């Protein structure tokens, strides 16, 4: 049962995540984007994605009613259109004729071939991961496919129904970002410093909303239903509402272990980690404020170069980060430098892996500031803790 929560005192007004235009989505090449309230997340994901477990005897290719040359593929009680994508997935799993060869033949012949293979394995359990009308994956019974609906149920146990979730759906990975309406921090602005405004505007569907330098906290969940061997990840997430910069942070247990565990146990652990993230947001908010008061050690350009290199950012992106640093006012804080990394993550066309790496650097800089500034004055590398 969710405990009652009072809004943070730092929040002087209400700003709904649904009213923010999420420009960061333009930098995502995952696939379909969906925004919905947490209270509607379960039903929305059920219509987008399903996991069906059934014996191979319960799948078949049939002719569409009234169209004898148009096929429908039945998986238990679901009917999916027969085409290139679905034919490829079925043919690959059954290890029969190649899908291109199948599609050149008549529907009756295709049906006979598929029935031949499924009859031989009629009692064999199989797991079907379905996105909309497309088969995204077919797996043996030991594969650990995490149903998105179950993840949505876990999220709804933690967040309020009116909190907003942004879901990025792809064929092999899904990103769910949920921000709380009562977990936030306002970083005091510095007049004349573009990265830390005293106030600004956010273009919402209803009106231009005035905001200070407000960030909302929440959780990011990364799932890989197209790669069942890859563990799901739960991260702390912060979004700066003025410019939709996002930053993330891993905590203990963020990467959920799959070995020797059931799907139920995996989802329970994901919920436990997400709850720990949620409960730690107030402490992170204080850390963000501290980063805004912490000076950058050494030359800003050198500091950015070393942090970027140590976190696997390529040379071209690092150069762009250093160029952006020239726009900062003298003596910027670590918080100001953080925005250089998180603003670049918003750029359109940036690879997903680079976007997430930049956002993770932002989380380290603002929430684990002491470690990130404890650097040698000559080599600018992190010093080992005593």
Q: Is the pLDDT of residue 381 over 60?
A: no
pLDDT surpassing 60 at residue 16:
no
Residues 30, 31, 35, 41, CA torsion sign: negative
Sheet arrangement for strand 78-81: 59-64, 67-75, 78-81
Nearest of 69, 76, 81, 59 to residue 132 by alpha carbon? 81
Give percent above pLDDT 90 in the chain.
Answer: 55
Mean pLDDT of 111-132: 92
pLDDT value at position 382?
Answer: 57
- Cα of 11 vs its chain's centroid, Å: 26
Give strand pairing partners of 67: 64
**What is the pTM for the complete model shown?**
0.81
Contact between 237 and 285 under an 8 Å Cβ cutoff? The reply is no
Q: For residue 372, what is the enclosing H or E element?
A: helix 369-373
- Note the pLDDT tens digit of each residue in 240-282: 988 889 999 999 889 998 888 898 999 999 999 999 999 999 9
> Would you state the pLDDT for residue 279?
96
Predicted pLDDT at 85: 86
pLDDT digits (tens, 9 = 90+) for 225-236: 778 888 999 999
Is the pLDDT at 372 greater than 60, yes or no? yes
Spatial strand order of the sheet with 174-186 comes to: 32-37, 164-169, 174-186, 214-223, 233-240, 245-249
Neighbours of 343 (CB within 10 A): 18
**Exposure of 1 by Cβ count < 10 A (0-12 exposed, 13-18 middle, 19+ buried)?**
exposed
- pLDDT tens track for 76-86: 999 999 988 89
For residues 49-63, give the mean pLDDT.
92
- Which pair of tokens denotes residue 372? 């990130």
Paired strand residues for 237? 218, 248
Residue 24 DSSP label: G
Query: How much is the pLDDT for 193?
Result: 73
State the Rg of the chain over Cα. Answer: 24
* Residue 103 tokens, joined: 């599609």
Half-sphere exposure of 110 (CA within 13 A, CB side): 28
At residue 10, does pLDDT exceed 70? Answer: no
Read off the tokens for 377: 């004055």
The length of the chain in residues reads 386
Structure confidence at residue 198 (pLDDT): 75
pLDDT in tens, 139-166: 998 888 888 999 999 999 999 999 999 9
Q: What does the mean pLDDT of the chain come to? A: 84
**Would you tell me how many other CB atoms lie within 10 Å of the CB of residue 251?**
14
**Is residue 173 very low, low, confident or very high in pLDDT (cuts 50, 70, 90)?**
confident
**196 pLDDT more than 90:** no
Measured distance CA(212)–CA(106) in Å, rounded:
64
Higher confidence at residue 53 or residue 227?
A: 53
Residues 6+ apart with CB under 8 A from 64: 70, 71, 72
Mean pLDDT, rounded, for 117-128? 93
Listed in sequence order, the residues at least 6 apart from 239 whose beta carbon sits closer than 8 Å to its beta carbon are 17, 177, 179, 215, 216, 218, 245, 246
Please answer whether residues 365 and 311 qualify as being in contact, where contact means their C-beta atoms are separated by less than 8 angstroms.
no
Burial class (CB in 10 A: 0-12, 13-18, 19+), 261: middle
Choice between 172 and 298, residue whose per-residue pLDDT is larger:
298
Contact, 59 vs 71, CB < 8 A? no
User: With 90 as the cut, is the pLDDT of residue 128 above it?
Assistant: yes
Q: What share of the chain is helix, strand, coil (3-state, %, to 5)?
A: 35, 25, 35
Q: Which residue, chain included where needed, has tokens 């969710």? A: 2
- Domain spans of the chain, in order of start: 1-23+181-386, 50-140
8 A C-beta contact, residue 293 and residue 307: no
């Amino acid at each position: 049962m969710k405990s009652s929560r009072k809004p943070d005192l730092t929040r002087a007004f209400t700003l709904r995540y649904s009213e923010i235009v999420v420009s960061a989505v333009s930098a995502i090449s995952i696939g379909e984007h969906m925004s919905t309230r947490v209270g509607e997340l379960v039903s929305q994901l059920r219509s987008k994605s399903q996991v069906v477990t059934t014996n191979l005897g319960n799948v078949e290719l049939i002719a569409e009613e009234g169209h004898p040359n148009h096929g429908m593929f039945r998986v238990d009680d679901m009917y999916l259109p027969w085409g290139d994508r679905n034919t490829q997935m079925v043919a690959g799993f059954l290890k029969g004729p190649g899908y291109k060869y199948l599609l050149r033949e008549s529907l009756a012949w295709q049906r006979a071939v598929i029935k031949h293979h499924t009859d031989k394995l009629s009692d064999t359990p199989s797991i079907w991961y379905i996105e909309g009308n497309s088969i995204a994956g077919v797996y043996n019974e030991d594969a650990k496919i995490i149903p998105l609906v179950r993840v949505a149920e876990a999220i709804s146990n933690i967040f309020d129904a009116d909190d907003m979730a942004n879901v990025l759906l792809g064929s092999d990975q899904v990103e769910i970002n949920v921000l709380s309406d009562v977990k936030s921090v306002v970083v005091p602005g510095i007049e004349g410093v573009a990265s830390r405004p005293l106030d600004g505007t956010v273009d919402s569907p209803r009106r231009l909303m005035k905001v200070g330098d407000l960030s909302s906290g929440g959780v990011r969940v990364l799932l890989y239903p197209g790669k069942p061997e890859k563990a799901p990840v739960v991260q702390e997430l912060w979004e700066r509402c003025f410019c939709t910069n996002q930053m993330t942070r891993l905590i203990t247990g963020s990467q959920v272990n799959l070995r020797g565990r059931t799907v139920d146990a995996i989802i329970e652990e994901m919920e436990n980690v997400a709850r720990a993230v949620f409960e730690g947001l107030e402490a992170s908010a204080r850390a963000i404020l501290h980063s805004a008061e912490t000076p950058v050690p050494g030359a800003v350009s050198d500091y950015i170069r070393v942090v970027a290199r140590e976190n696997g950012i390529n040379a071209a992106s690092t150069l762009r980060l250093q160029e952006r640093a020239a726009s900062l006012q003298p003596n910027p804080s670590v918080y100001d430098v953080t925005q250089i990394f998180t603003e670049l993550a918003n750029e359109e066309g940036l690879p997903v892996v680079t976007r997430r790496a930049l956002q993770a650097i932002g989380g380290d800089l603002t929430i684990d500031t002491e470690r990130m500034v404890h650097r040698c004055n000559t080599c600018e590398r992190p010093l080992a803790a005593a």
